[in-house]
Amino acid sequence: MSDASIWLTLLVAGLVTYFWRWLGVLVGGRIDPNGPLFEWVGCVAYALLAGLTVRMIVLPIGPLQATDLGCRLLAVAAGAAALQASRGNIAAGVGAGVAVLIGLTMAGLRLWG
Amino acid sequence: MTTSDPVSPRAWRQGVRAGLGASGLVLFCSFLGFGSLVRGSGIGLAAGLVSSATTWALPGQIAMVELYGVGASLLVNGMAVWLTNTRLMPMVITLLPQLTGGGRVSWRHYLIAHVIAITSWAVAMREVPNVPQEQRFCWFAGFAGTLWAISVVATAVGFWLAGSLPGPVTLGLVFLNPCYFFLLFVADWRPRMRLLALLAGGVLGPVLHPVTPDWALLIAGLLGGTLAFFADRLWRRLERRHV
């Protein structure tokens, strides 16, 4: 690994990322915000993010692979319950979810596999 | 049609305050994780900071560092980051008109687009309707600009903390991101079309991942989003018929 190649990699990563943002501005200025095309793009955006989020919970990459699927599902369920109980406080929900995952994992509980 | 007020210091300050809340905390923790990944990869702190400042889209940054670490070619690395960040385009298209109220595209739009990423987008889609139209651009500039600055700082903190955090804390930091996005969607699933899109994408994402890890996300978005779009139209038509 040479020192120069990381800077070239960073430049490419920055440019290809901004490409999508640039294209979004360019295309967005030409779409009617009240039209069906706009609604469709919104559906794609939400479906993409939901796909990414659920994949990160169900089939994680990295350190979460060592945790049990049942524990992760219980943790997000606890987060959703805390969110409801606190009338939409996201921080309370996330705190509860993370605490439940750490607690169950440290207790060595395995519900799934 | 109103164009946004170019300067509204009050709206900007309110945005900054919003950025220092729960979303800022979650991003701080997420970028702590990225900082420690940078430390482990050996690319150095400066490269990590440049990545957070200029790419500012975490999944792509993680892909970049990991692929660089395993010696992938520049082409493969660039393609991976490019594909991972496809989601940014529909996000910019849906959020930007709400911030600017339409009108001509200017350099300010190209600048603000850089701070549209998952967290800033998901929170803004929820909060922006409560902000008066003429203040939205400044509010978002303050909000997303704060999140961006927090991310760069957290990259450095994570770099310095790397290796000194206990295992369960690291686990919690990694779990924070998916948990936060999931709850954002639970809290903000209306209208019906959005719910359908979330369900379709949420099922297709993990189902397609083992089949084609590279393309799963893109297919889940395009296919799931399109299915949700037409299902909602069909539903609307049936409702009209049965009134």
Picking from B139, B112, B99, the residue whose alpha carbon sits closest to that of residue B17 is B139
Is A49 close to B85, i.e. CB distance below 8 A?
A: no
Residue B4 lies in a domain: no
pTM here is 0.87
ipTM: 0.90
B176 in the same domain as B156: yes
Judged by DSSP in three states, A113 sits in coil
Token couple for B193 = 């079309």
Is A25 close to B109, i.e. CB distance below 8 A?
A: yes
Residue B182 lies in a domain: yes
B103 in the same domain as B20: yes
Residues 6+ apart with CB under 8 A from A45: B87, B90, B91, B93, B94, B121, B221, B225
Output the pLDDT for position B212.
87
Task: Tell me the pLDDT of chain A averaged across its residues.
Answer: 92
Q: Which of A22, A54, A58 sits opposite B113 (nearest CB)?
A: A22
Q: How far apart are the first and last CA of chain A?
A: 39
* Alpha-carbon distance A79 to nearest alpha carbon in chain B (angstroms): 7
Is B97 close to A53, i.e. CB distance below 8 A?
A: no
B91-127 per-position pLDDT tens digit: 999 999 999 887 788 899 999 999 999 999 999 999 9
B231 in the same domain as B179: no
Residue B1 lies in a domain: no
Contacts of B180 in chain A (CB under 8 A): 90, 94
B25-58 per-position pLDDT tens digit: 999 998 998 998 898 888 999 999 999 999 999 9
- Number of Cβ pairs < 8 A linking chain A and chain B: 300
B125 in the same domain as B89: yes
Residue B31 lies in a domain: yes
CA A75 to chain centre: 15
* Mean of pLDDT values over B234-238: 95
Q: With bands split at pLDDT 50, 70 and 90, how would you rate the model's confidence at B6?
A: low
Residue B24 lies in a domain: yes
Q: SS3 for chain B, per residue?
A: CCCCCCCCHHHHHHHHHHHCCHHHHHHHHHHHHHHHHHHHHCCCHHHHHHHHHHCCCHHHHHHHHHHHHCCCCHHHHHHHHHHHCCCHHHHHHHHHHHHHCCCCCCHHHHHHHHHCCHHHHHHHHHHHHHCCHHHHHHHHHHHHHHHHHHHHHHHHHHHHHCCCCCHHHHHHHHHHHHHHHHHHHHHCCCCHHHHHHHHHHHHHHHHHCCCCCCCHHHHHHHHHHHHHHHHHHHHHHHHHHCC
B208 in the same domain as B181: no
Output the pLDDT for position A1.
47
Q: Does B129 touch chain A (CB under 8 A)?
A: no
Residue B165 is part of which domain span? 9-188
Mean pLDDT check: name the lowest of B4-13, B125-134, B138-147. B4-13
Q: With bands split at pLDDT 50, 70 and 90, how would you rate the model's confidence at A113?
A: low
Residue B3 lies in a domain: no
Is A106 close to B168, i.e. CB distance below 8 A?
A: yes
Overall domain count for chain B: 2
Last residue of a domain, one of B188, B209, B230: B188
Task: Specify the DSSP class assigned to residue A68.
Answer: -
B218 in the same domain as B148: no
B201 in the same domain as B91: no
B44 in the same domain as B128: yes
Is B179 close to A21, i.e. CB distance below 8 A?
A: no
**Which site among A27, A54, A69, A74 would you substitute to test the B interface, given the most B Cβ atoms closer than 10 Å to its Cβ?**
A54
B194 in the same domain as B139: no
CA distances from B38 to A26, A93, B62 (A): 33, 29, 9
B114 in the same domain as B26: yes
Last residue of a domain, one of B188, B215, B235: B188
B177 in the same domain as B114: yes
